[in-house]
């Protein structure tokens, strides 16, 4: 009954999808068999099927260290069989992934386990060099894909800052990636590398704890919008480099994570885009760089930072001074936004690209913000006495889920993975 996990020269056979194990209510497909010259079981005194049942019930937080026990444990913990078993048993865990940018233009990724309130740092993303840079004036200039500017209400201010210092587009750092999730993995799409709109795509697999480069997009694009709809990732709009400036894109494309294939979408039905001088860059990117969400079976895009939680569309609308904001929920029947949290304690950072972020975690709306003392906080509003029809500051308590000092790092983007 027990299968075998190899410690050397491992070759996985295909899984027998029909043979069942004898675990009563926990019936599932049989774990794959591993073939090798010499072998060892995951736990020597137990069949591997039972060992997988034990590992599946351990919190994910421990997996990083458990992989160090032996090669057999590492293979088992990073296997698709373990992930599948956790899903079948309803033991997946939602973790919050936060992307931050350091002053030296380096992107760091951190994962938060909300149950234990512990942070884990992700491995660095791969480095790359664009083709045009390797053959042109910047032949010796290598870029690391760190300085990712995600969907943010402050992108316009970020771009304006560059042009105030009289930098041209050719001298801009890497920026303008979009971020999405599919099949329990984190994806980073495109962006600008100096004057080049990139089509590269990187994927983070939390089970393997590695970044991998996957099939590139059909078109290079920066400041595009990305969202998941019917198990496929849609990346639309954005800008590319034209002869005399930036060219807003009407095109879009869709990625199938199962096949790794990109397909073109029909162009969006707005007036044909014209090449715009870089002086209009900030005004162009402000509506382009906001997020996109899958809502009621359709892709919804707008000029507000929004997320969908429990099939409800929420947004955080900042005040004019960007030192506070309101959380609103969309009423699709009346086509109006209803304020459910009138005052969100966010702080304005003049040079920050994203003073705050939104995340849907465990069916609740959470706000990620950075305090003046450099502490990043993940907070949730709790309405007292369930007064939702007429909320006020007095009947709202803010619970701090987790906090961490990120030093001078700025918020860029966040996503939630259920693994």
The full set of domain ranges for the chain reads 48-89, 93-120+309-418, 123-128+158-271
Angle at 299 between CA 87 and CA 264, to 5 degrees: 95
Q: Distance between CA atoms of 207 and 74, rounded to whole angstroms?
A: 10
Maximum C-alpha span of the chain: 70
Neighbours of 217 (CB within 10 A): 18
CATH of region 123-128+158-271? 2.120.10.80
DSSP state of 370: E
Rg of the chain in Å (alpha carbons): 23
At residue 350, φ and ψ (nearest 5 deg) are -55, -40
pLDDT reported for residue 154:
44
Low-confidence ranges of the chain (pLDDT < 70): 1-39, 103-106, 127-174, 194, 244, 270-291, 301-304, 319-323, 347-355, 384-395
Query: Given this model, what pLDDT does residue 250 score?
Result: 85
For every residue of 207-242, DSSP letters joined together read: TTTEEEEEPPPSS--BS-EEEEETTEEEEE--EEE-
C-alpha 39/C-alpha 123 separation (Å) is 30
| Dihedrals phi, psi of 86, to nearest 5 degrees | -65, -40
Closest Cα to residue 233, out of 177, 297, 187, 290?
Answer: 187
Residue 153: the pLDDT is 36
Looking at residue 279, what is its pLDDT?
A: 41
What element of type H or E holds 74? helix 71-77
pLDDT digits (tens, 9 = 90+) for 145-194: 333 333 333 444 444 444 444 345 554 556 778 889 999 999 989 887 76
What is the rounded distance in angstroms from the CA atom of residue 250 to the CA atom of residue 97? Answer: 30
**Number of Cα atoms under 13 Å in the Cβ half of residue 415:** 26
Contact 123, 209 (CB under 8 A): yes
pLDDT of residue 17: 37
């Amino acid at each position: 009954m027990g299968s075998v996990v190899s410690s050397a020269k491992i070759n996985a056979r295909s899984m027998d999808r029909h043979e069942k194990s004898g675990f009563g209510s926990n019936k599932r497909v049989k774990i794959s068999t591993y073939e090798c010259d010499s072998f060892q079981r995951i736990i020597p005194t137990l069949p591997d099927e039972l060992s997988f049942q034990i590992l599946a019930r351990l919190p994910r937080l421990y997996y990083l260290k458990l992989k160090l026990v032996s090669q057999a444990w590492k293979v088992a913990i990073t296997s698709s069989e373990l992930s599948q078993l956790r899903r079948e048993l309803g033991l997946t865990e939602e973790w919050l992934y936060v992307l931050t940018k350091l002053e030296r233009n380096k992107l760091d990724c951190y994962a938060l386990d909300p149950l234990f309130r512990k942070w884990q740092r992700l491995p660095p993303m791969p480095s790359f060099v664009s083709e045009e840079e390797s053959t042109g004036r910047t032949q010796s200039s290598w870029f690391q894909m760190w300085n990712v500017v995600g969907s943010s209400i402050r992108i316009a201010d970020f771009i304006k800052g560059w042009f105030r210092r009289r930098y041209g587009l050719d001298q801009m750092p890497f920026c303008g990636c979009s971020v999405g999730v599919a099949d329990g993995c984190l994806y980073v799409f495109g962006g600008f590398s100096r004057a080049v709109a990139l089509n590269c795509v990187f994927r983070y697999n939390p089970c393997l704890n590695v970044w991998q480069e996957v099939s590139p997009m059909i078109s290079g694009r920066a400041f595009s919008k990305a969202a998941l709809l019917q198990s496929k990732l849609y990346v639309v709009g954005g800008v590319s480099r034209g002869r005399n400036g930036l060219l807003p894109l009407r095109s879009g494309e869709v990625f199938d994570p199962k096949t790794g294939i990109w397909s073109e979408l029909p162009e969006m039905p707005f007036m044909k885009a014209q090449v715009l001088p870089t002086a209009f860059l900030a005004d162009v990117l402000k509506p382009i760089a906001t997020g996109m969400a899958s809502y009621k079976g359709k892709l919804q895009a707008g000029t507000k930072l929004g997320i969908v939680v429990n099939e409800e569309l929420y947004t955080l609308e900042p005040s004019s001074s960007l030192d506070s904001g309101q959380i609103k929920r969309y009423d699709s029947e009346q086509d109006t936004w209803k304020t459910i949290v009138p005052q969100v304690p966010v702080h304005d950072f003049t040079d920050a690209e994203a003073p705050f972020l939104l995340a849907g975690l465990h069916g609740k709306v959470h706000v990620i913000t950075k305090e003046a003392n450099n502490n990043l906080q993940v907070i949730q509003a709790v309405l007292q006495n369930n007064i939702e029809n007429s909320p006020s500051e007095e009947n709202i308590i803010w619970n701090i889920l987790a906090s961490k000092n990120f030093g001078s790092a700025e918020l860029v983007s966040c996503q939630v993975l259920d693994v």
